[in-house]
């Protein structure tokens, strides 16, 4: 091809083309190419469309000197002067000849970058505990609602959420004007009953002394039986009045105690030592019997109340020591004890309530979410270090090595964590190699040299 181009250029030089033309032909060719091609099109020259190579996808340019195009070009060149034909020939040779009638480019893939000293591990199946998890809520072992026992307006609130209270401490005061008046009334009645009892005692004492005197006179036949019987009847009447006075005093005392109890109902007190976790009313609220005002919990003992499906209840045994995970405590594992299984199932959810006693921990609070783990034996699972997991937004992935030790990012589905490892549910096969600690380095598409 190069020899053909040189021979054509030599023929053009013999035809009278200046010698300096070849040094500037490359520069002139680009400027005049479009103009000459338009002239060729006007005389019947039609270049073919470019085609694409099936092998590499690169454009292949058709040779303008095919037989069909050559005939059209030779016919049109007869009408042009010889120097013009020569210039056009050189233009076509420079533009198309140097590139060739067929141009094919072979793309050579660059070699991947090599990263050294990267820890790599091979994944294998491992036996892990098969656990049944039951979710539940942390509750205080003792909880009570301090409610009102009378009707009246709340005039004072003496406790708020978070306050530590002791048994019998006054938490709120209800208007006590009516029960206090009842206490005053009962107190006065009790005093009157006491005075009646005193008068009855005096009458009885007089009647008994009179009876003794008449008894002596009756034995000496100094008084008639009629007079003796009258004195004896008066003594018995005095005794009856005394007993009635004693009953009246007891009745007045009971009324006074009842009034005092009603007065004490105006004070809402803490049922036991604990912490106020909820205040449900404020000053000015009309309280009614049974209306809860405060919720008090014993924060010294907590338990987890978990729901277990009816099909899994046979895995739960009373007195069993199990592991309890509390999410709010950084998934800390606590040792709990199953203390009660409620014998009746919930008809809506078909679950049984299991109560698990928790150890003493100052971080525990009522209402926390927890998971109870009951053992079901062992199972096989793919476990990988948590350090191998790469976070991409809400997705998790790992760098997996192929046969050429080239890493590729693969997204996987993770299961439950277990200490420093996590279970892989999908996206990884047994025996594959992965990067153990990729860190923040992007290793996708890079060759890894095993540490």
Percentage of the chain with pLDDT > 90?
35
- Residue pair 369/327 in contact (Cβ under 8 Å)? The answer is yes
Residues of the chain with CATH 2.40.420.20: 117-127+380-450
In this prediction, residues 285-303 reach a mean pLDDT of 92
Question: What's the CATH number of domain 117-127+380-450, 3.40.50.1000, 3.40.190.10, 2.40.420.20, 3.40.50.720?
Answer: 2.40.420.20
Q: Could you say which architecture CATH assigns to the domain 297-378? A: Beta Barrel (2.40)
Confidence grade of residue 29 (pLDDT, cut at 50, 70, 90): low
Distance CA 349, CA 1 (A): 87
Confidence grade of residue 82 (pLDDT, cut at 50, 70, 90): very low
- Residue pair 110/444 in contact (Cβ under 8 Å)? The answer is no
pLDDT for 356: 94
Residues of the chain with CATH 2.40.30.170: 297-378
Range of weakest confidence among 53-57, 280-284, 307-311:
53-57
How crowded is residue 256: how many other Cβ atoms within 10 Å of its Cβ? 21
**Higher per-residue confidence, 259 vs 55:** 259
Range of weakest confidence among 72-86, 361-375, 400-414:
72-86
Q: pTM, whole model, 2 decimals? A: 0.56
Mean pLDDT rounded to a whole number for the chain: 80
Interval 201-232: pLDDT, tens: 888 888 888 888 888 888 888 888 888 888 88
Q: Strands 447-450 and 114-118, how do they pair?
A: parallel
Range of weakest confidence among 12-16, 377-381, 426-430, 436-440:
12-16
Distance CA 5, CA 91 (A): 12
Residues of the chain with CATH 1.10.287.470: 176-265
CA atoms within 13 A on the CB side of 361: 20
Residues 6+ apart with CB under 8 A from 414: 389, 396, 422, 423, 424, 425
**Higher per-residue confidence, 88 vs 113:** 113
In this prediction, residues 424-441 reach a mean pLDDT of 87
The pLDDT of residue 100 is above 50: no
Confidence grade of residue 448 (pLDDT, cut at 50, 70, 90): confident
Distance CA 125, CA 295 (A): 51
Confidence grade of residue 95 (pLDDT, cut at 50, 70, 90): low
User: For residue 183, what is the enclosing H or E element?
Assistant: helix 177-219
How crowded is residue 203: how many other Cβ atoms within 10 Å of its Cβ? 17
Which residue in the block uniquely carries the two structure tokens 């014993």?
298
pLDDT for 378: 85
Distance CA 211, CA 81 (A): 180
**Higher per-residue confidence, 449 vs 46:** 449
Domain 176-265 sits in CATH 3.40.50.1110: no
pLDDT for 348: 92
pLDDT for 154: 93
Distance CA 21, CA 286 (A): 113
- Residue pair 384/422 in contact (Cβ under 8 Å)? The answer is yes
CA atoms within 13 A on the CB side of 310: 9
In this prediction, residues 303-328 reach a mean pLDDT of 91
Q: Which of 81, 77, 93 is nearest to 28 (CA)?
A: 93
Distance, C-alpha 147 to centroid of its chain: 34
Per-residue tokens: 394: 């809400």
pLDDT for 218: 82
Per-residue tokens: 110: 């660059």
Percentage of the chain with pLDDT > 70?
76
Per-residue tokens: 381: 């699972």
Interval 156-194: pLDDT, tens: 999 999 999 999 999 999 999 999 999 999 999 989 988
Interval 140-158: pLDDT, tens: 999 999 999 999 999 999 9
Radius of gyration of the chain from Cα atoms?
Answer: 55
Q: Which residue intervals of 220-324 are DSSP H helices? A: 225-264
Range of weakest confidence among 19-23, 116-120, 233-237, 325-329:
19-23
The pLDDT of residue 367 is above 70: yes
Distance CA 173, CA 188 (A): 25
The pLDDT of residue 9 is above 90: no
Confidence grade of residue 60 (pLDDT, cut at 50, 70, 90): very low
């Amino acid at each position: 091809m190069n020899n053909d181009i040189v021979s054509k250029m030599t023929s053009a030089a013999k035809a009278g083309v200046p010698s300096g033309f070849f040094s500037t032909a490359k520069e002139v060719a680009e400027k005049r190419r479009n103009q000459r091609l338009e002239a060729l099109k006007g005389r019947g020259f039609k270049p073919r469309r470019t085609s694409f190579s099936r092998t590499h996808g690169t454009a292949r340019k058709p040779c303008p000197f095919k037989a069909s195009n050559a005939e059209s070009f030779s016919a049109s060149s007869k009408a042009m002067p010889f120097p013009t034909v020569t210039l056009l020939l050189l233009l076509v040779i420079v533009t198309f000849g140097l590139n060739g009638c067929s141009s094919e480019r072979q793309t050579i893939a660059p070699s991947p970058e090599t990263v050294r000293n990267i820890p790599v591990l091979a994944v294998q199946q491992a036996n892990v505990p098969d656990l049944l998890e039951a979710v539940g809520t942390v509750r205080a072992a003792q909880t009570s609602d301090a409610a009102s026992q009378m009707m009246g307006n709340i005039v004072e609130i003496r406790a708020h959420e978070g306050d530590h209270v002791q048994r019998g401490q006054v938490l709120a005061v209800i208007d006590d004007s009516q029960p206090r008046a009842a206490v005053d009334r009962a107190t006065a009645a009790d005093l009157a009953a006491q005075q009646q009892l005193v008068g009855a005692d005096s009458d009885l004492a007089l009647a008994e002394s009179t009876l003794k005197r008449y008894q002596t006179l009756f034995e000496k036949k100094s008084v008639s039986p009629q007079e003796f019987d009258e004195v004896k009847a008066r003594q018995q009447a005095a005794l009856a009045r005394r007993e009635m006075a004693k009953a009246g005093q007891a009745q007045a005392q009971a009324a006074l105690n009842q009034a005092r109890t009603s007065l004490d109902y105006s004070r809402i007190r803490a049922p036991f030592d604990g912490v106020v976790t909820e205040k449900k009313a404020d000053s000015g609220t009309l309280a009614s019997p049974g209306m809860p005002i405060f919720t008090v919990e014993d924060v010294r003992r907590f338990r987890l109340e978990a729901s277990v499906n009816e099909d899994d209840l046979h895995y739960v045994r009373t007195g069993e020591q199990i592991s309890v995970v509390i999410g709010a405590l950084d998934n800390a594992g606590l040792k709990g004890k199953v203390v009660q299984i409620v014998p009746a199932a919930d008809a809506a959810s078909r679950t049984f309530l299991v109560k698990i006693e928790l150890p003493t921990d100052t971080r525990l609070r009522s209402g926390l979410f927890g998971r109870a783990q009951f053992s079901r034996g062992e199972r096989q699972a793919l476990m990988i270090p948590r350090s191998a997991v790469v976070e991409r937004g809400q997705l998790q992935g790992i760098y997996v090595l192929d046969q050429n030790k080239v890493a590729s990012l693969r997204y996987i589905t993770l299961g439950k964590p277990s200490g420093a490892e996590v279970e892989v549910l999908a996206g990884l096969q047994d025996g594959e190699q992965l990067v153990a600690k990729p860190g923040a380095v992007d290793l996708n598409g890079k060759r890894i040299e095993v540490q």
